[in-house]
Amino acid sequence: MKIAVCIKQVVTREWQLRVNDQKTWIRDQDASFELNEPDAYALEEALRLKEKHGGEVIVCCAGPARATQVIREALARGADRAVHVESDALAAADAGAVAAALAAAITPEQVDLVLTGLQSDDQGFGQVGVILAETLGMPHATIIMEVQAESGSLRVKRELEGGWFQWVGLPMPALLTIQSGINQLRYATLKGIMAAKKKEIKKVAAPASAPAGPRIASLYFPEKGKKTQILPGTAAEAAKELVRRLREEARAL
């Protein structure tokens, strides 16, 4: 089984976020980075499928040169080789542009299965996987909690609302977006870290023209402040007004 795993480099959760001078994205010159957590679970699931069925795990990443850090980490955990679509413009690109870049890397590989994390820790739109599946012309399923691979087909368990689950059958090749917590993550061993230095990282040029998508006009931190309002009228009138505001303004009900 030939499996492609899409990974992303994101800012570590402990880093104090700062907005750049253009107010369009975070300032990442002095930031620390890590592997996107949902992608780590997708990688682990790919490695387990390889151990059970044999084959190859290929890590695919679309991002700037600094993303080599997380690519090497994925190789150290057990991936066989990597494909890196390198471009500074992909650092804060929208889901359509990232999916187009990843499709350019995955298409020549003729894989049986593509795994992505459910969403990224920075933007969190959860759209790259489904757009990538459409671009590749593959059937897909999202929020996967269990994967059972058979000859030429998959049976997967999807997480639904309210504690419900759904089993779905798909033909291969297919794409799955993996939910965090599907498995127990492994960590890179010293042997794996040394072996990763010799594994191939193929560089692929980003597509010349990315699809038009949304553009961030302005980015800012929410303003903090304190404000108290006294609701006039009787207790019943004040309670009615409070409920209205919670429902229509705060949307808490």
- Strand arrangement of the beta sheet that strand 113-117 belongs to: 165-171, 153-159, 140-150, 174-178, 113-117, 2-7, 56-63, 81-86, 201-204
Confirm or reject CATH 1.10.10.10 for domain 2-204, answering yes or no: no
Angle at which helix 68-77 crosses helix 37-53, to 10 degrees, equals 30
Burial category of 224 from C-beta neighbours within 10 Å (exposed 0-12, middle 13-18, buried 19 and up): exposed
For 64-94, the pLDDT digits (tens) are 999 999 999 999 999 999 999 999 888 878 8
Tokens linked to 170: 């798909």
Query: Confidence class of residue 29 from pLDDT cuts 50, 70 and 90?
Result: confident
Averaged pLDDT, 212-225: 78
- Beta strands 9-11 and 33-35: pairing type? antiparallel
pTM of the predicted model, to two decimals?
A: 0.83
Higher pLDDT: 47 or 252? It is: 47
Q: Can you give the residue ranges of every domain in the chain? A: 2-204
Query: Confidence class of residue 152 from pLDDT cuts 50, 70 and 90?
Result: confident
Averaged pLDDT, 178-194: 93
Query: Confidence class of residue 212 from pLDDT cuts 50, 70 and 90?
Result: low
Tokens linked to 191: 């042997």
Tokens linked to 103: 């499709």
Query: Confidence class of residue 210 from pLDDT cuts 50, 70 and 90?
Result: low
State the chain's mean pLDDT as an integer.
91
Residues 44, 145: Cα–Cα separation, whole Å? 13
